[in-house]
Structure 1
Amino acid sequence: MAVFTPVSDSDARKLLARYDLGELVSLRGITAGIENTNYFLNTTTGEYVLTLFEVLTLEQLPFYIELMHHLAARGIPVPQPQALRGGGLITVVHDKPSTIVTRLSGGYEPAPSVAHCALTGDTLARAHLAGQGFSIRQPNLRGLQWWRETAPHVRPFLEPDQAALLDTALQEQIRFASTPTYRALPGGPGHCDLFRDNVLFDGTFEMPRMGGIIDFYFAGCDTWLFDLAVGVNDWCVDLATGVFDVSRLDAWLHAYTQVRPFTAEEIEAWPVMLRGAALRFWISRLYDFYLPRPAQTLKPHDPRHFERILRERFKAPVRALQN
């Protein structure tokens, strides 16, 4: 969530004329992230988030917007897209497809506890089940095909040992995707980017309450296990080393499986899926670091973090999934 496209107060007032959301009170750019332009948009009727999509096309957007609408209608705490006066949930600002959604209460927890992990695991499982009836199908656009296409662009920037790691991990995922085990994995719409800064909490640190899941704009149809692996690779690790914190990992997995038990194929696939989730974000962070797009407030993440996690997932035994 960076600011690639400037939006002025005057622009915001013209935009609000298309909605029944009251008058502009304030507009403030959100500097975190790297994919879309985002602003906190406060009006006389409430607090919202304005998003201008820098990569996703108008044709791709209905999946994300309608998915949030679908989940919210089924009690999952996610931002609610706002309807235009003439109908529809998507408009255009500065030639960019755009939307306004409700701003959820709470804030993200940079150092999550066991309680935060349990709440998130439970909510993710409920979101997976709630998404089963969603009718729009769109693949995870940052899935295996994107890894294969992007890896050659970042490989020239790597040292020989890094290039070898990239090649080994990518070939493992290509082989795994052709196996009966992979094909048997359950799946559907997933968040696919469930990092700790994409979940909000109310309450106190000792007694948190789920505020909601935000930023669905990397969502796609994938295996639920991949979505789970993305989450625990961020929430349940020591950030300096990539090593799992067992108490946080157990809390997340236990809470998830109380809602949706794992299949035999998921239990078998867990180690390779954790490596796939680490590979996905190592590749994307390498790309954003070495081949960035211009932005006013761009803060690319250090790709070495997910390199460490990927190496750790290859060398250390992975805690087995259990129901």
Structure 2
Amino acid sequence: MAVFTPVTLDDLTPWMTQFPLGKALAIKGIASGIENSNFFIRTEAGEFVLTIFENLSFEQLPFYLKLMRRLADHGVLVPAPIANANGNLVVALHGKPAAIVSKLEGESQMSPLPIHCAEVGKMLAQMHLAGQGFEIVQPNLRGLAWWHATVPLVLPFLNEDKQALLRAEIHHQDAFASTASYQALPSGPIHADLFRNNVMFDGERLTGFFDFYFAGCDTWIFDVAVTVNDWCIAPETGVLDLARVEAMLAAYHAVRPFTAEEAIAWRTMLRAAAFRFWLSRLYDYYLPRDAEILTPHDPEHFERILRLREAASAPALPQN
């Protein structure tokens, strides 16, 4: 989340008349993240989040917003998209697609304990099950195809050691993706970006997942790996905290048991999750877009995690 497309209260006031939310009273840009333009808005009906989509098209957005609606209808705690008077969830603002969703209560838990990780694991499993049979199929837009397109763009900026690591890891992931074990992995809609700042808590009570705009259809175990690589580590080093890992995996497994193929894939998926975010952070760092508010992320954080996942074993998945 960032602000690439500024919006003032004067811009917002006439645009908001199409929504059943009353008069727009205030708007404030959200500085965290680097993909879309995001704002907290306050109206006569309460507080909401406005997103202007900088990369996703009008055609792509129904996947995300209808997925959120489906998850909410199945008891998963997610922001509810708000339709305009014509029933549209996506409406142009400054010539770009935009949407309004409800604002979750609580705050991000940036120093999680095992109990927080267990709550996240439980809800993530519920989310995966609730997404089964979702009628719109859209691939993970930051998956293997994007990796192949993006690696050549960042290689010229890197030293030989980092270049070698990128090339070796994408070769490893290609090889695994061609195996029968990979093809047998359970899959469906995933969040794909379930970091600590995309989950809200009120104390120890999880109040919601948000920012679904990297979601896509991929393996569920990749989604678990992305989540573990953020929630269950020491941020300064990337080293896994065993108590938090075990709490998250056990809670997930209690709702949606892991398969034998997922157990085989687990370590490779932890590497894949680290690689994906190292690559995207390299791209955003060396090939940035202009933004009014921008908070770039450190690429070296996920490079460290990738090297750790390559070098060391991880706690095994629970099995029945």
Scaled by the length of structure 2, the TM-score of the pair is 0.99
- What amino acid sits opposite 1:144 in the alignment? L
CA distance in 2 between partners of 1:156 and 1:173 (Å): 21
Q: Mapping of 1:48-63 within 5 angstroms?
A: 48-63=48-63
* Local SS of the residue matching 1:84: coil
Partner of 1:146: 146
Is it true that 1:254 corresponds to 2:253 in the alignment? no
- What amino acid sits opposite 1:136 in the alignment? I
TM-fit CA distance, 1:10 = 1.2
Partner of 2:20: 20
* Local SS of the residue matching 1:240: coil
CA distance in 1 between partners of 2:223 and 2:96 (Å): 28
TM-fit CA distance, 1:133 = 2.5
- What amino acid sits opposite 1:122 in the alignment? K
CA distance in 2 between partners of 1:311 and 1:7 (Å): 41
* Local SS of the residue matching 1:28: strand
CA distance in 2 between partners of 1:42 and 1:133 (Å): 35
* Local SS of the residue matching 2:131: helix
Q: Mapping of 1:188-267 within 5 angstroms?
A: 188-202=188-202, 204=203, 208-267=204-263
CA distance in 1 between partners of 2:102 and 2:313 (Å): 42
Partner of 2:318: 322
- What amino acid sits opposite 2:272 in the alignment? G
Partner of 2:298: 302
CA distance in 1 between partners of 2:175 and 2:10 (Å): 53
Partner of 1:73: 73
CA distance in 1 between partners of 2:14 and 2:248 (Å): 44
Q: Mapping of 1:145-184 within 5 angstroms?
A: 145-184=145-184
- What amino acid sits opposite 1:56 in the alignment? L
* Local SS of the residue matching 2:84: coil
TM-fit CA distance, 1:25 = 1.8
CA distance in 2 between partners of 1:293 and 1:170 (Å): 25
Partner of 2:90: 90
CA distance in 2 between partners of 1:53 and 1:14 (Å): 20
* Local SS of the residue matching 1:156: helix
CA distance in 2 between partners of 1:234 and 1:197 (Å): 10
CA distance in 2 between partners of 1:116 and 1:11 (Å): 39
CA distance in 2 between partners of 1:163 and 1:238 (Å): 26
CA contact (8 A) 2:9 2:25 kept: no
Is it true that 1:274 corresponds to 2:270 in the alignment? yes
Q: Mapping of 1:132-143 within 5 angstroms?
A: 132-143=132-143
Give CA deviations for 1:30-58 in whole Å, capped at 9, x if unaligned.
Answer: 00000000000111111110000000011
Partner of 1:35: 35
CA distance in 2 between partners of 1:302 and 1:322 (Å): 32
CA distance in 2 between partners of 1:116 and 1:189 (Å): 23
Let me know the Cα RMSD of the aligned residues: 0.7
TM-fit CA distance, 1:216 = 0.2
- What amino acid sits opposite 1:218 in the alignment? F
Partner of 1:313: 309
How many aligned residue pairs are there? Answer: 319
* Local SS of the residue matching 1:133: coil
Q: Which runs of 5+ in 2 are unaligned?
A: none
Moved more, 7-16 or 27-36: 7-16
CA distance in 1 between partners of 2:281 and 2:178 (Å): 26
Displaced runs of 4 or more, over 2 A = none
Partner of 2:11: 11
TM-fit CA distance, 1:321 = 0.8
- What amino acid sits opposite 2:269 in the alignment? M
CA distance in 1 between partners of 2:236 and 2:168 (Å): 23
TM-fit CA distance, 1:235 = 0.4
Scaled by the length of structure 1, the TM-score of the pair is 0.98
- What amino acid sits opposite 1:282 in the alignment? W
Percent of aligned pairs with the same residue?
A: 56
Q: Which runs of 5+ in 1 are unaligned?
A: none
- What amino acid sits opposite 2:226 in the alignment? V
CA distance in 1 between partners of 2:192 and 2:312 (Å): 24
Partner of 2:186: 186
CA contact (8 A) 2:39 2:50 kept: yes
CA distance in 1 between partners of 2:270 and 2:114 (Å): 20
Give CA deviations for 1:172-229 in whole Å, capped at 9, x if unaligned.
Answer: 0011111100000001000000000000001x3xxx1011000000000000000000
CA distance in 2 between partners of 1:102 and 1:56 (Å): 20
Give CA deviations for 1:5-24 in whole Å, capped at 9, x if unaligned.
Answer: 00010111112111110111
- What amino acid sits opposite 2:289 in the alignment? R
